[in-house]
Amino acid sequence: VTPRFQVVLHISGSNCTLVAPDIPELSKLKGISQSPAQLLAKLSRSGLHLLPMDSDAAKMERTVKMHNIEERACGDVSILSTAFSIESSRFNSLLGRGQICYEIRESDTFTGGCDPSPMATALVEIDSESASARNAPGAKEVPAHCGNIRCSIVKGAEEGPESVPDTKFNTAAKDGTESSLFMSQCVPSLSSSEAMERVWSSSPLISETVKQVLELTRPFTFC
């Protein structure tokens, strides 16, 4: 979502297709299947720029997230995207360079929208700066060769609605969950076995295409 438009892309295999917005300036791009890089470059040339750079962050009052944190978040979300709904969190822009958070829940697409589960808050962070490292130094450290990155489901805004301005962001682990190297290992306790089966049986090609879109548009720094 940009300040003016909601951009919708349909991903199939290694390509994606522009679905929205439906405006005259983009009419020639709609319905054409092409690679993420090709489509986003053409959108930029048509006036809809979705390829931000680090230098754009200051103008938007955003903190540039560390590259390895962004990369891990993009990879995690791309794997989970076939069975989970993911939304941005307003708290993400308030966190430092070494932390990324977003909202996640099992998708209700396969249940006809019946009884959707509540959103949970996912946190990706540098392990040495995490609450676990501060509260229990040396316990369950992430090995350096694994990137020093910890993923977890946290309480987030459980103490109040995320829409309330003075709601505090709680980095304590959500009850019944455990941190791990990857978010896919954190969400099974919040989802059905069918959802996880969809994740692991989905085409790696689709996940890779989703990852490309995320790495190019960089929502974890700019949204």
Query: In a structure prediction context, what are the per-residue pLDDT tens digits for the chain, which is 223 residues long?
Result: 666 789 999 999 999 999 999 999 999 999 999 999 999 999 999 999 999 999 999 999 899 999 999 999 999 999 999 999 999 999 999 999 999 999 999 998 877 666 678 999 999 999 876 666 555 555 556 655 566 899 999 999 765 555 555 578 999 999 999 999 999 999 999 999 999 999 999 999 999 999 999 999 999 999 8
Helix extents (H) in the chain = 36-45, 67-80, 131-135, 193-201, 204-217, 219-222
> Cα(72)–Cα(70) distance, rounded to whole angstroms?
6
The number of angstroms, rounded, from the C-alpha of 36 to the middle of its chain's C-alpha atoms is: 17
